[in-house]
Amino acid sequence: MYFLNEILPKILIVLASALAMEWVAWASHKYIMHGFGWAWHRDHHEPHDNKLEKNDLFGIFGAALSIALFALGNPAVLGDAAWPPAFWMAVGVMLYGLIYTFIHDGIVHQRFFRYVPRGGYAKRLVQAHRLHHATIGKEGGVSFGFVFPRNPAKLKAELAKQRDSGKARLRSNA
Ligand SMILES: [Zn+2]
Ligand SMILES: [Zn+2]
C-alpha cells in the first residue's frame, strides 16, 4: 500500500506540525509578544498608516524555523546526517505561516485585499481576532490563538470581566 506507507505518514507530519505551530503561535503571542516582546508587538495593537509594522519581524522567526527544518531534512545540506521527516515538518511550519499570513494579515487586517466573510467559521475567526484587538496595552486580552476561535459572545463576556476587575482596559468602540 504505497499510499498508507509512503504518503499518509507525510501528510500526518505536515498536519501535526501545522497544528503544533498554532500552539507555538498561541504561547508566544500570550507570553512573549504580550510580555517582554511587547515593544515589537505594540504597533500591531495601535492605529497607524504605515505599510509595515515592527510586529512583522516576528514572522521572521517562523520563516527561520521552517528554513532550519528544510536544511535538517535535506541530504544536499547535511549528507547522511539529514533527517528526512524534518522536510515534512518544514512544510507544515510553512503551511501554517502561509495560512496565518493569508487569514490574519489578509482577511482580518485587510492588508492585501478586502473580503469580509458573512458567516460560518471565517466570520467567527475574524470576530475572535478583532476581539483580541479590543484591549489597550499588553495587559489582559482574549484570543491569543488563531485558527480555533471561541464563541465571540463568550469572548465579549470575558473581556467585560477583565475590564470590571481592572485586568484590562478596553477600547471605547469594543
Ligand atoms: Zn496581541
Ligand atoms: Zn491582529
Tell me, yes or no, whether 93 and 125 share the same domain: no
How much distance in Å is there from the Cα of 150 to the middle of ligand 1?
16
19 CB-near residues (< 8 Å, 6+ apart): 92
* Residue 157, amino acid: A
Identify the nearest ligand to the CA of 142 by its number.
Answer: 1
pLDDT value, residue 67: 97
What's the structural domain count of the chain? 2
User: Could you tell me the residue range of the domain that residue 128 belongs to?
Assistant: 118-174
pLDDT score at 172 = 79
Q: Minimum-distance ligand to the CA of 31?
A: 1
Q: Are residues 129 and 110 in the same domain?
A: no
pTM of the model: 0.92
pLDDT of residue 1: 87
**DSSP letter at 133?**
T
Same-domain check for residues 110 and 122: no
Report the distance separating Cα 112 and Cα 73, nearest Å.
Answer: 33
Q: Which ligand is nearest to the CA of 135?
A: 1
Residues of the chain with pLDDT under 50: none
Ligand nearest to the CA of 130: 2
Same structural domain for residues 1 and 80? yes
Residues 70 and 15 reside in one and the same domain = yes
pLDDT of residue 174: 52
CA–centroid distance, 86 to ligand 1, in Å, is 30
Residue 169 CB neighbour total at 10 angstroms: 14
Separation of 91 CA from ligand 1 center, angstroms?
26
